[in-house]
Amino acid sequence: MDVEIAVLDSQTLGDSDVNWHALERLGRLRLFRPIRTEEWPLLSRTPYVLTNKVLIDETVMERLPALRYIGVLATGYNNVDVEAARKRGIAVTNIPGYSTHAVAETVFAAILHFAKQTALHNNAVKKGRWSKSESFCFWDTSLWELRGLTLGVIGYGAIGRQVARVARAFDMSVLIHTRSKPTSLPEGIRLADRETVLRESDVLSLHCPLTDATRHLINEHTLSLMKPEALLVNTGRGPLVDEAALDKVLRQRKIAAYYGDVLSDEPPPGDHPLIGNPYTVITPHIAWATRQARQRLIDRAAENIMAFREGKKLNRLDV
């Protein structure tokens, strides 16, 4: 097929352990890793453009006269000016739900990291501490069980619901705070106001979208409501957290620890305070990035294009 499909930043999905076959069957696939300024003119006749993080605003659309379709290779789409696309009759799609299980599993990888301290004690063993121990075992910090703890979930979309389900499998109690009001909830999961969730949670996990209302949802005041032994987990968006306030509160030992897979600036500056904070674990936005999730993302991008060609409005953002 002669129609060209361009992926503007294919390196964000990886090349070594996924394949692009589903998209290759739909047209001539061109992968940029990422696109450079001087390469934009190469897309003057390209009708289909896919982007993960590359910005597509009104200025970019004006430079691509053949553009008919923008596919966001993610769920969030704040890097595309949807209104400008709508005015030009350009379809815009996203891909919800592809990483639900991957992110939920990462949340519990982080929780278990702090609860069981396996890395800390592995390092101690590798340094010879166990071999020199007078006892059959030792531990350097308090270890804790998840059973009986309370997990707070702010945002009860697909990922929030999956996190709550996993928490119940660990026999945790779950408090949720959400803009929607579920008519029924599974046993052990209770709807609560935000202050109750903040005050009662042993672990607080953020899964709400980033909006004007949720920007710096976690700030010096809301952190002051949390238990001093609480763990905060953010796999949502960096700006949900006032990072300067969090750094201060952690160093004052007013909450126990923070796991962040996202930061306000990505990639962050080398002197970012949370990276240097001894009470944090920071990973480079990888909660979503299992091989299965990335392959699912590519395959569903192809499904979106096929639906568009058939006149269907699958995952359309411009309608």
Residue numbers annotated as active site: 237, 266, 285
Q: Which two tokens stand for residue 102?
A: 């991957």
b/e per residue 201-234 (b: at least 16 CB within 10 A): bbbbbbbbebeeebebbbbeebbeebbeebbbbb
